[in-house]
Chains A and B, each alone.
Chain A
Amino acid sequence: MAFIKEFGCWLPEHIVTSEEAGSWVGSDAEWVRNVSGIDERRFAPESDTVAGLAARAGADCLRRAGMRAKDLGMVFVASGTSERAFPGPACTAARLLGAEGVPAVDVPMASAGSLFALALASRLAAQLGAILVIGAEKMSRVVLREPREKGVAILFGDGAGACLVTPDAGRSEIVDSILCSDGTHAEDLMLENGAPLKMNGRSVILHASRKIPAVIRAVLDRNKVPPAEVQTYLLHQANQNLLDRIASALGIASERFFSNIRRYGNTSSASMLIAACEWCRAEGFRPGAPVVFGAFGAGFHWGALLARGV
């Protein structure tokens, strides 16, 4: 058994409007809004690191949970924008949090990383105790690389989200999860060292549009939960048009899919936990009500996780 005890997040102060981002690629705010649903995103200062962002979101989560970092059983940090190949940001983030000696594991998977870490944490918490899951991205480092591609430069923002998973009690119980990977299309979304991000948007949208609804249906079906009974869907905030498409495929009103992409853009691995953090503070789990987490990203990796309010 594992429970979600608390969420945390951190967003940079600096706002980059879609007017500004559109101007980088010879377009305007209206075009950006139409293709992505994004009005603005946040960029962290150049001196900030992924580990620094991760530690701030993790600290916010631990403070709200009233838990000390040194009492953690493990730390996961998901990120696709680490400044170096190794060591990844997990060990530095854990040190910044005061969790020296606690095993800190990197999940370098970009968009689906937080979901994978959350699912793994739910299966490890009974053995290891409380596990802090963090997703942190400094996408600005990638976005600002030349040449800036039209379909990429306007999408992304910086930020970090966190979730504390415990074996005993929390806001919701993690009931089940399904994780999937298929490297057939690995080159359709990739970031090579020092290079611009490469994205075959057609392939990504085509696969995501089919795989996310399918995996959500699968986790709901095997737990006998109709899609309409789910209180809220908390998905990776990739693109508003994609979220709307997934909602439609499941026969659910888009409003049931929490969305903050208009304000933060796509923050890759951080986005699902930032969304969960904001949703939890605004609405929160209802006792007994199912909540679905989901993500799809480079790899391709994708999956869904079912939780139920306590």
Chain B
Amino acid sequence: MDRRSKLIEILKSVTKKDVDIAPDESLFESGILDSFALPDLVSALEQEFSIEIPDSHLNPRKFESIERIEEYLDSRA
């Protein structure tokens, strides 16, 4: 499974919603992700990609869209 497919599966699992969205579209504005699902997404990213996301990186904008999440993961590679 490529990384984008994996990300979509993570989003589906965390939000219990269909994730039919353009990569640059806001996960918040589209109603897929809300304030209380965001911490779950961050925890799932840590687990799935074996990274520790420090508090200094906890900016919701980093997780605003699939593209933003990918950029963040690239920055941690």
Contact = CB atoms under 8 A, between A and B. Distances in A.
B33 to A, nearest CB: 9
Contact of A200 (B36, B55, B60): B60
Given A202-B60, A203-B60, A182 B39 contact: no
A210 B60 contact: no
A207 interface: yes
B38 interface: yes
Interface residues of B, number: 11
Contacts of A241: 36
Interface in A228-244: 241-242
Interface string B27-38: 010000001101
Contact of A201 (B35, B55, B59): B35
Nearest to A201: B35
Given A241-B36, A245-B39, A202 B28 contact: yes
Contacts of B60: 200, 202-203, 206
Given A202-B28, A206-B42, A184 B35 contact: no
A206 B39 contact: yes
Contacts of B42: 206, 210
B73 interface: no
B51 interface: no
Given A209-B39, A245-B36, A203 B58 contact: yes
B59 A203 contact: yes
16 contacts: A202-B35, A202-B38, A203-B60, A205-B35, A205-B39, A206-B35, A206-B38, A207-B55, A207-B58, A209-B39, A210-B39, A210-B55, A210-B58, A211-B55, A241-B36, A242-B36
Interface of B: 28, 35-36, 38-39, 42, 55-56, 58-60
Interface of A: 182, 184, 200-207, 209-211, 241-242, 245
